[in-house]
A and B are shown apart, each in its own frame.
Chain A
Amino acid sequence: MSGSNEYGALTEGVYYILLSLFTPMHGYGIMQNVKLLSNGRVELGAGTLYGALGTLVERGWIEPLAGGQDSRKKEYRITESGRSALLSEMTRLDELLSNGRKLIGGEPE
């Protein structure tokens, strides 16, 4: 999963992974949490999640928790720059939604 470039959209997988990691979680926990958050709509593939975690760590948006080395399951949490990436994505999504609503309505009744 390439996720995003500097100003582009996040994939929905990455968006939900970042959102999940405000609480430290391991891989399987993230998969379950994303499914829960999206009411079962988004089911992350294990390979896709694995690739995304690697990319996000490289970018410094998430970090493996210290002490995770000895325990079998590695836990991750969001970093400061992950937080700001998520916030700017939310601003972007807000803009898309509010423009859509302004122009063609669709405000939930």
Chain B
Amino acid sequence: MSHVVRKYFADFEKEEQWLNDMSAKGLALVEYSWARYVFEESAPGEYIYRLELLEEDPKKAKSAEYLQFMEETGAERVPAGKRPSGKTVYVNPRWVIFRKKAAEGAFTIYSDTDSKIKHYQRIYRLWISLAVMELIIGVFNISLMFVNNPTALNRINLIMGLLLIVLALFFISLSMPIRRKITKLQNDKLVRE
């Protein structure tokens, strides 16, 4: 029997923790798409879950090669679902959820400080680039106010612009804890590998 949970996470490590807590309770994630989690009953703790932001779109050669390597090590990618034809589909371009049977041993993706920093930096750049994009479009929308005559359209530009700026602030708020994690790891690196 499958259970569907709708939930949103801003912090991927909390999301990962939640998936592992669910797994410990005997609910293993089998599908994920846009804040919709589908679980199936399993032996408690059967799977370990890990999240990763890939360097590139999974369809690109570099990521495809990496995904194959992950498979060789016993990890599988959690899909978005299955088409009626039976074809497995994936959403969410660069964020990937992996799972691996706990019986096959520990499952970590990044085990040393350097590679952890690189992964966090990837995430940090994603949030910052989204923030900058929203900010530019937002400011552009508001600036239209001064070009156009005061009309109803004008007000829409202002509202859109403000919404986009709020969205930009949201992405900045996501990036800040990541920045702190990077700084902490970089400080650790001064002392040990």
A interface residues with partner B (beta carbon < 8 Å):
1-2, 9, 11-13, 26-28, 31, 35, 42-48, 50-51, 72-73
Complex Cα gap A77–B52 (Å): 28
Partner of B112, one of A1, A26, A35, A46: A1
CB <8 Å contact, A45 and B118: no
CB <8 Å contact, B73 and A46: yes
Which of B18-26, B102-110, B150-158, B165-173 faces chain A?
B102-110
CB <8 Å contact, A46 and B75: yes
CB <8 Å contact, B106 and A31: no
Q: Is B44 an interface residue (CB 8 A)?
A: no
Q: Considering only CB atoms, which chain B residue lies closest to A44 in the complex?
A: B111
CB <8 Å contact, A1 and B72: no
CB <8 Å contact, B115 and A47: yes
Select the residue from A27, A31, A45, A72 with max chain B CB neighbours within 10 A: A45
- Residue tally, chain B, CB below 8 Å to A: 21
Which residues of chain A come closer than 8 Å to B108, judged between CB atoms?
A: 43, 45-46
Complex Cα gap A44–B118 (Å): 16
Q: Is B66 an interface residue (CB 8 A)?
A: yes
Which residues of chain A come closer than 8 Å to B111, judged between CB atoms?
A: 13, 42-45, 48
Q: Considering only CB atoms, which chain A residue lies closest to B108 in the complex?
A: A45
Return 11 A-B CB contacts under 8 Å, by A number: A27-B72, A28-B73, A31-B73, A46-B75, A46-B109, A47-B66, A47-B70, A47-B115, A48-B111, A51-B115, A73-B72
Given contacts A47-B119, A51-B118, contact A27 B112 (CB under 8 A): no
CB <8 Å contact, B109 and A72: no
The B92-133 residues at the A interface (CB cut-off 8 A) are 105-106, 108-112, 114-115, 118-119
Question: A31-B73, A72-B72 are known contacts; what are 13 more A-B pairs with Cβ within 8 Å?
Answer: A1-B114, A28-B74, A35-B105, A42-B111, A43-B111, A45-B109, A45-B110, A45-B111, A46-B69, A47-B70, A48-B115, A50-B66, A73-B72
Select the residue from B72, B73, B114, B193 with max chain A CB neighbours within 10 A: B73
Select the residue from B66, B69, B72, B112 with max chain A CB neighbours within 10 A: B112
CB <8 Å contact, B109 and A48: yes
Which residues of chain B come closer than 8 Å to A44, judged between CB atoms?
A: 111
